[in-house]
């Protein structure tokens, strides 16, 4: 019972006072650094995509960039469903490997790929 009380107390939100004004201001330098970082990440993703075998790259583009379902890809390409799933899966694994080899941490790479692919869907 005491543990439940502590859990409930810990999970309570603390409201900000109405008179507290929270402004986050980024310097011009911080914005430029962020843009440069995003440009580098985009370049690394493009390079990693281009390094994939043609079939994997094609399946990833159809799945994530064009938003097709696995069934649609299988039907249009004439490849069975499981092969399409395997190509996409292996392509994602290869992207992760290629990007980790190019200075990304494994967690950072997965987060970046997740953000990119979820924005595209």
Identify the residue whose tokens are 């992760």.
96
Nearest Cα to Cα of residue 95 among 62, 55, 46, 39: 46
What domains, with CATH codes, occur in the chain? 48-121 (1.10.10.10)
What is d(CA 117, CA 29) in angstroms, rounded to the nearest whole number? Answer: 28
Do the beta carbons of residue 74 and residue 81 sit within 8 Å? yes
Higher pLDDT: 86 or 18? It is 86
User: Model pTM?
Assistant: 0.59
- Distances in Å between the Cα of 95 and the Cα atoms of 69, 76, 89, 118 are 20, 24, 10, 16
pLDDT band at 53 (very low <50, low <70, confident <90, very high): very high
pLDDT at 67 over 80: yes
Dig out the tokens for 11 from the structure.
Answer: 């999970």
pLDDT at 83 over 60: yes
């Amino acid at each position: 019972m005491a543990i439940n009380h502590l859990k409930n107390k810990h999970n309570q939100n603390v409201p900000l006072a109405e008179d507290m004004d929270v402004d986050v201001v980024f310097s011009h330098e911080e914005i430029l650094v962020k843009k440069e970082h995003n440009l580098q990440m985009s370049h690394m993703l493009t390079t990693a995509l281009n390094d994939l075998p043609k079939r994997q790259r094609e399946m990833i583009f159809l799945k994530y960039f064009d938003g097709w379902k696995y069934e649609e890809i299988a039907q249009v390409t004439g490849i069975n469903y499981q092969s399409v799933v395997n190509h996409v899966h292996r392509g994602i694994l290869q992207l992760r490997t290629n990007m980790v080899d190019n200075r990304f941490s494994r967690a950072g790479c997965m987060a970046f790929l997740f953000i990119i692919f979820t924005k595209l869907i």
